[in-house]
Structure 1
Amino acid sequence: MNQLFAVALGGACGAVLRFMVSTGVYHWLGRGFPYGTLAVNVIGSLLLGLLTEALVLNRIAFALDYRAAILVGFIGAFTTFSTFSLETVYLLQQGQAVKALLNVAVSVGVCLLAIWLGLLCGKALAGQTLPGPDGLFPYGIILVNVFGAFLISAVATALLPKVPLAIEQQLTLMIVLGFSYLGLSGLYVLLYLLEHGSAYPAQARGLALGFTANTLAGLLGLGLGWWAVRQLAKLGG
């Protein structure tokens, strides 16, 4: 039942974020091509590859609900194969066979590439630690979390203004997304440390250091994502 609730919660968040991203992309690029569906599938594939090593292959025993919420619920609801299929059929019915074939080729090819790149990055980083007097310091997972924070911030900064929401609602969504990510990623750092030998309260300082370092690094990633998109907007405008 716990896993069922976790999947439901992750799925709700993923579905809402998919709506915001795809709607923002369509407002930005138009509906002449399935840009929105392509965007969510590519981003979701990259995140799935990146998080597979950290959340599955490290096999943290008491994080099953956590893994289910993210991999099955959140990413499963964020990505969509059915919409991709429907939009491809619509293009064929409209006599746009070239666009339909392009949609299939780009979606499959780029999503496979994104999964591969995500797996490479995850394998290179997840599980990398430094020993210390207060236990392990999981810098690899923290770097993965920083990249996730950067990606979330960049996507939200670029696309939320394209969604028909009041500025107060946009700011609220960005704050909720940012702090939810920081909380969940910090929780995973704690779970990882506890699973790999850190004990509470004996090594409480090491646990606090890992959580604090992840939070500060995540804030840096969120800030860099916002800054990067703003700089690109200035160059383009």
Structure 2
Amino acid sequence: MNLLLIGVTGILGVYTRYFIDSYFLNKSYITGTLIVNTLGCIVAGTLMALLQQKSQSQQLYKIIIIGFCGGLTTFSAFILQGFNLIHEGEKIKTMAYLIGSPLLGLISLAFAYYMTNTFFLSNLK
């Protein structure tokens, strides 16, 4: 049942992102991304605080964080994990994670883009 609820809330997150991105598409593509990333972080932070205070089950956490926020934006999970490292006092791991993840992502994207253009797309011309 949890898997079904995660899927349903994930679909809601995807649709929410689609509508926000569609609204801002002609204005500025980064505005939509900024809004969904911020919204996802607000939802994740609110839920995290509520679950700590009321000692609710992890099921609700999984359904909303993995489902809705995961469908909306993975950025909120990235920030939530960084926040948890800070909360655990892991200063060096926090900095490595928060700096290393985007840097590695950018390097990976640039590498894949270069390799695709060089070895695959150049052969199509």
What TM-score, normalized to structure 2?
Answer: 0.53
Equivalents in 1 of 2:10, 2:32: separation in Å? 18
Structure 1 residue ranges, 4+ long, deviating more than 3 angstroms after superposition: none
Once the two structures are superposed, the pairs formed by residues 30-179 of structure 1 within 5 Å of their partners are 30-31=28-29, 34-61=30-57, 64=59, 66-81=60-75
Matches within 5 A, 1:1-16: 2-16=1-15
Deviation at residue 72 of structure 1 after TM alignment: 1.1
- Which amino acid is the alignment partner of residue 11 of structure 2? A
Change in Cα spacing, 1:76 to 1:38, as seen in structure 2 (3 Å) is same
Give, as a single letter, the amino acid of the residue that structure 1 aligns with 2:43: L
Note if contact 1:56-1:67 (Cα within 8 Å) is conserved in structure 2.
no
Inter-CA distance 56–25: structure 2 relative to 1 (3 Å threshold): farther
Q: How far does residue 24 in structure 1 lie from its aligned partner after superposition? A: 1.0
Q: Give the structure with higher Rg (CA).
A: 1
Q: Distance in 2 between matches of 1:56 and 1:7?
A: 20
Structure 2 residue runs of 5 or longer lacking an equivalent are 76-101, 114-125
Q: Find the counterpart in structure 1 of residue 16 from structure 2.
A: 17
How many Å separate the matches in 2 of 1:47 and 1:8? 17
Q: Between the two structures, name the one with larger relative contact order (CA 8 Å, sep ≥ 6).
A: 2
Q: RMSD in angstroms over aligned alpha carbons? A: 2.7
Gaps of 5+ in 1: 94-237
Of all paired residues, the percent bearing the same amino acid is 26
What is the letter of the counterpart of residue 71 of structure 1? I
- Whether contact under 8 Å (2:8, 2:67) holds in the other structure is yes
Q: Quickly say closer, same or farther: Cα 1:80–1:22, change in 2 above 3 A.
A: farther
**Separation (CA, whole Å) in 2 of partners of 1:72 and 1:41:** 14
Kindly indicate whether the alpha-carbon contact (under 8 Å) linking 1:17 and 1:78 is maintained by their aligned counterparts in 2: yes
**What CA distance in whole angstroms lies between the structure 1 residues aligned with 2:24 and 2:69?**
18
